[in-house]
Each structure stands twice: as structure tokens, then as C-alpha cells.
Chain A
């Protein structure tokens, strides 16, 4: 079966750095996405990785290792507005998005 694992909840301090991990087992791989979702709102796109390595975009970076079936989202200089759920999703061989359950990130002052 297809499976995506990410921690249910994480807590971090404002101004700090946090890394949210995602491991996956899917039928084929055509890329991995990270989305941010605030409560009551639809997800918004953060990043897309299809090749191994680190993609940096401002305060957010995303890393992918296809051989390990592993990705992480790195958030730097955390702000209170970063409190949200972060969803990892993999595009499988049929170009269907397989979603993780999301990681709720709580930022404390």
C-alpha cells in the first residue's frame, strides 16, 4: 500500500528553526510537495522537489532523498504566523497526489 508518515505535532519557539520530516512509500514517484494549511483554510503551496537535494526559498527549505524515501521541510526564523499544519504529499506513478496526515506546528513566544 501507499503510505506517508509525518509527525502529528511539533512545538517550537519563535525565532528558532524547526525541521518537519516526511517519509514515504508509494507506487512510483513523480515529485514531493509541501503545503501549509492554516485552520479552516485550504492548503497553500510551499515547495516541490523531484530531484535529490535541498531547495531553498526564503525562510523555508525542502530536502529530498529519493533513495531513502525521505524529505524534510526546514523553517528558519520562526514567526507566530507559521503556526499551521504542514502537509507532505507525493505524486505517484499515476500522477495522483498521496497525502500525509499533516504535522501541526505550534509556535510559542
Chain B
């Protein structure tokens, strides 16, 4: 299957700093990527849909100024958590699907963010 690479897998940062998470589709072009957040023992929560060359579509309740998404190319989307606080500590996962939609979502490995 297709490979989606997410980096870093783990990051610890100080409160008030910003953290960038990268999501790359290695062997296919992803015009759309998805960013999820997952709390312990909870399901995936869609944060935003990242569209190549245009602004991301954020889900209700997700602060677009805090979670900056840039989909600069067909193989790269980035999520920047700005001015991180301890409550932003979570597991962030990106996924991508082939254009057309009716196929499985390929997931990155996930990023465990801890804000201290």
C-alpha cells in the first residue's frame, strides 16, 4: 500500500513555543490530507482537511490560528501548533487518500506531542 511518513514521532516542547509536524506521501500524490487529534481512549477527531494549494478547511471548534496547516505541495502537508500549552499535549495523526475518495486512508505514524 501507499506510504505516508509523519515526522517527528515524538516531541517535547516548552509551553509557549511552536511545534511543526510534517506529513509526506512518499509514493503517491495526495491532493487532500487530513489531520486528526486523538485523546487517550478516544477515537480520532478530525481537526482539518488540508487541500494542496488552498486554505485548509477546519472543523468546528478547532482554532485555525493556533493549528496552522500548510499544504504546499502534492506530497507535503504541515501542521504547526503555535504557542503550545499543556492542554495541546496529544497524539496527532495525518492521513491521505488517493484522489477520488473511495479508498482506504493511509496514515502517518502519528506524533506524540508533550507540552511541559
Interface residues of A (CB under 8 A from B): 30-31, 33, 40-45, 48, 50, 87, 89, 91, 95-97, 99-102, 104
Contact = CB atoms under 8 A, between A and B. Distances in A.
Interface stretch (B12-20, B64-72, B106-114): B106-114
B60 interface: no
B93 interface: yes
Contacts of A89: 105
Contacts of B109: 41-42
Interface in B21-36: 34
Interface of B: 1, 6, 34, 41-44, 46, 49, 91, 93, 101-110, 112
Nearest to B91: A40
A33 B101 CA distance: 13
Given A42-B110, A45-B1, A99 B102 contact: no
Q: Which of B46, B93, B104 has the most CB of A within 10 A?
A: B104
20 contacts: A30-B101, A30-B102, A31-B102, A33-B104, A40-B110, A40-B112, A42-B93, A42-B108, A43-B44, A43-B93, A43-B107, A45-B105, A45-B106, A87-B43, A87-B44, A91-B101, A96-B49, A97-B46, A101-B42, A102-B43
A99 B104 contact: no
Nearest to A46: B104
Contact of B105 (A40, A50, A97, A100): A97
A100 to B, nearest CB: 6
A39 to B, nearest CB: 9
Contacts of B46: 96-97, 99
B104 A45 contact: yes
A23 B41 CA distance: 19
A53 B105 CA distance: 22
B110 A48 contact: no
Contacts of A42: 6, 93, 107-110
